[in-house]
Amino acid sequence: MANIKEIARISGVSVTTVSRVLNNHPYVSDDKRNAVLNTIEQLNYRRNMNAVHLITGRTKSVAVIMPLIRIYYFSIIMEGLAQEALLAQYRLVLCQTNYRPEEELKVLEMLRNKEIDGVVIVSTSLKPEVIEEYTAYGPIVTCQNSGESRFSSVYIEHYAAFRHGLQYLADKGYRSIGYCDGRKHGSSSSIRQSAFRDFHRESGLPLHEEWMIFDCLNEEHGAALLHRLSAMEERPEAIIVAGDHVAAALMIEAGKQGIRIPEDLAVIGFDNQPIGKLLGLTTIDNKLFEMGAAAFQTIHEQIHGDGGSQPVHRKLDYELIERSSV
């Protein structure tokens, strides 16, 4: 396999000149440029990018940490990231961690080993202090509100969005509201829990502990959720569900059971998933695609900010989409 030295020898120029041609530098005469291009063509030569990575200290690639790619929430963020990465001609290394912290650490080590130029952490179970240690090796952006951390973040105000949903239900006259979420101790679900409790304390509406239901991750859990609600002696008039796919499953199951929505049970979801639109599910759109895109833009700016750039914290807007489930 040919290398730059051979191209230089055959073209009758120095390797420097070949390098200049490869990188479109000015100050190369037309005849030498053509000689080099001809040789490249003839030998079917391509640069060995690993050598470029070594000498430049850059790889034009960014790692993305997320637990499971098949989950709509994550796949749509990934799509936003991928769109921007394509524009910027960057590669995305998908690191699916299955919620295992040791795998997350391995990715951060990649940053240290110079395999990648930056890391986008979509969801993490690592402590902020641990992540902060790695900011010395390159830019890091999380998709969670990280407060005043030394790494950047691009985030939705889960607290405000959730309270907005609750207030919307209250304004519509619902006096008893249930809440359903995924993993109980996830970082954004903790925020939603606080929002739920704060809202009830401040509004004076009754809060039943049994109306807070966790571990609703998929469609089957959504269906089970409806049965659980049906079996309650006192059932809430409305429910706010983190994840449209779970809310949709609940609505479909409600249809089977003859429970009318919103008359018997009002439902509000999150993420504005396609299935929710079809079912007329009122939802809070977290603009996940935009979040992915913004996360990439941020990491891209930081990579080109020559290291001295300060962390940025970008808050993104959400939007309540009114349909017919409330």
The binding site for DNA (CB under 7 A) comprises 1, 3-5, 12-20, 22-23, 26-29, 31-32, 45-48, 51-52, 54-57
Query: For the chain, where are the E strands, in sequence order?
Result: 61-66, 91-96, 118-121, 140-142, 152-156, 177-180, 212-213, 238-241, 266-270, 282-285, 313-316, 319-321
Stretch that binds a second copy, among 152-160, 186-194, 277-285, 297-305 (CB under 8 A): 277-285
Choose which of 210, 215, 220, 317 interacts with a second copy (CB under 8 A). 220
181 binding partner (options DNA, a second copy, none; Cβ < 5 to 8 Å by kind): none
How far apart are the C-alpha atoms of 119 and 160, rounded to whole Å?
A: 27
Stretch that binds a second copy, among 17-25, 45-53, 184-192, 309-317 (CB under 8 A): 45-53
Does residue 201 belong to the site contacting a second copy (CB under 8 A)? no
- Backbone φ and ψ of 79, nearest 5°: -65, -40
Angle between helices 4-11 and 30-43 (to 10 degrees): 120
Token pair of 95 as six digits: 């690191």
Choose which of 37, 88, 252, 320 interacts with a second copy (CB under 8 A). 252
Residue with tokens 């890391």: 119
Cβ of residue 181: shortest distance to a second copy, in angstroms? Answer: 18
Does residue 215 belong to the site contacting a second copy (CB under 8 A)? no
Does residue 295 belong to the site contacting a second copy (CB under 8 A)? no
Question: Is 21:28 a contact under the CB 8 Å cutoff?
Answer: yes
Number of neighbouring beta carbons within 10 Å of residue 317? 12
**Count of positions (residues) in the chain:** 326
For a second copy, the binding residues (CB under 8 A) are 46-51, 53-54, 57, 59, 61, 63-64, 68-70, 72, 75-76, 78-79, 82-83, 86, 91-96, 98, 103, 109-110, 112-115, 218-220, 222-223, 245, 248-249, 252-253, 255, 274-275, 277-279
